[in-house]
Amino acid sequence: MQSPQVDAELLLAHVLGIGRTALITVSDVPDDAAARFTAFVAERAARVPLQHLTGRAPFRHLELAVGPGVFVPRPETEQLAGWALGRLAGLGEPVVVDLGSGSGALALAIAQEHPGARVTAVERDPGAIGWTRTNAAARAAAGDTPVTVVRGDMTDRWLLTELEGGVDVVVSNPPYVPDGAGLPREVAEHDPPLALWGGPDGLDVVRGLLDTAARLLRPGGRLGIEHADQQGRAVPALVRSHGPWTEVEDHPDLAGRPRYTTARLG
């Protein structure tokens, strides 16, 4: 959804180094800040994502560093983190794996909100994993439970063999856009291709991660996978047909659109 006024306000607040709500107290903008603001507005008008201009993206209680090379975390993914945290409630030191971690959004939110959790973030893209590591280091320095960052392919049979059968929750927001689908310029030109494209039906990586999740989870462990709003039937059907999964359910986002599928191993 386009929000030019909000974007302009956020950019002005960014160049002034204040929060958006404090703009109401601003009566004068210095020339250098006005020039930076004008340049940012021109970039935003050319469809550079707002978050690339500010260098920050909010996610639950976090503010993550983002920029070229990494997927900008989306608000709808916050619910998948909330679902995972609900499954961890009451577990002292649960083991969690985030497959395709990008900025680290899911992994770092879970580590922050369930401090006992031992979280591993997996990322394949060499351009993105620098951002995963930067954000993980920043959160650890701020006092959150450290997250282990691993470069790897979530479809690899040999990924994280040391965790096999011992993971409580696997979460993933994998690439799921069908090849050739039309996307807004902000997405098509600025989110990394590896974060977006999922083969002819968008589900190639999902198919691969199901085997990995089944191998990593303990019996009764839980899997949560984000998907496109058009995949609310296809992903649950794929999970049901693809191994020892039970309690397969699909969940809507806050706008009521199908957004993520969850399942129990065994």
Active site residues: 71, 173-174
CA 41 to chain centroid:
26
Q: Give the residue at shortest CB distance from ligand SAM.
A: 100
In terms of CB distance, is 115 or 127 closer to ligand SAM? 127
Is residue 175 a contact partner of residue 196, using CB atoms and an 8 Å limit?
A: yes
In terms of CB distance, is 88 or 105 closer to ligand SAM? 105
Residue 109 C-beta: closest distance to ligand SAM, Å: 10
CA 186, CA 214: separation in Å to the nearest integer?
35
User: 126: helix, coil or strand?
Assistant: helix
In terms of CB distance, is 23 or 194 closer to ligand SAM? 194
CA 88, CA 231: separation in Å to the nearest integer?
26
In terms of CB distance, is 212 or 245 closer to ligand SAM? 212
Residue 41 C-beta: closest distance to ligand SAM, Å: 26
* Greatest distance between any 2 Cα atoms in the chain: 63
CB count within 10 Å of CB 32 equals 9
Residue 164 C-beta: closest distance to ligand SAM, Å: 17
What does the binding site for ligand SAM look like in residue numbers (CB under 6 A)? 71, 73, 77, 100-103, 105-106, 122-125, 128, 153-155, 173-175, 192, 194-195, 205
Six token digits for residue 201? 């039906």
User: 38: helix, coil or strand?
Assistant: helix
Residue 193 C-beta: closest distance to ligand SAM, Å: 9
